[in-house]
Structure 1
Amino acid sequence: MTKVLFIEGMSCNHCVMAVKKALSEVEGVTSVDVDLESKKAVVELSKEVGENILKDAVVKAGYEVVSIE
């Protein structure tokens, strides 16, 4: 299962690593690929994870989730 998060507020590689770390710590997340240029994170999941849980992880890291697909 894959979710794509569109994220605002990332401006450097440190931001990318912070988002990747935050999402990687969510139970059920198996991999995270964050792209600074497109401002998105592609998250692979081993089980159903609520969008609000993914969003909360990004917000706690200091960034805004614009949408999730």
Structure 2
Amino acid sequence: MKKEMKIAGMKCEGCANTVSKKFEAVSGVERAVIDLENQQAIVESEKDIPTSAFKEALADTPYEVVG
């Protein structure tokens, strides 16, 4: 499955790498690709993972899932 999410607060590749690592640590996530230019994350997983899990993964960062 693929899930696309808008991410607020990313300004550089370091930001994108942090979001990627946080998302890949979520149980069930196979891969997280971060598009810094479009402020977007594309997450691949075997099953549907609720958006709330990704919001929680970013809780201790300055980034957030929006929309």
Would you say the 8 A contact 2:54–2:65 is kept in 1? no
RMSD value, Cα: 1.1
Q: Determine whether 1:27 maps to 2:32.
A: no
Q: TM-score, normalised by structure 2?
A: 0.90
d(CA) in 1 for partners of 2:5 and 2:58?
9
Q: Map residues 1-69 of structure 1 onto 2, 5 A cutoff.
A: 1-67=1-67
| Runs (5+) with no aligned partner, structure 2 | none
User: How many corresponding residue pairs?
Assistant: 67
**Aligned residue type for 1:14:** G
SS of 2:37's equivalent in the other structure is coil
Counting aligned pairs with the same residue, the percent is 37
Q: TM-score, normalised by structure 1?
A: 0.88
| Runs (5+) with no aligned partner, structure 1 | none
**Aligned residue type for 1:53:** A
Deviation string, structure 1 residues 2-56 (Cα, Å, up to 9, x no partner):
1111011000011000000000000010011001100000000112211101121
Question: After TM superposition, what 4+ stretches of structure 1 lie above 2 angstroms from structure 2?
Answer: 58-62
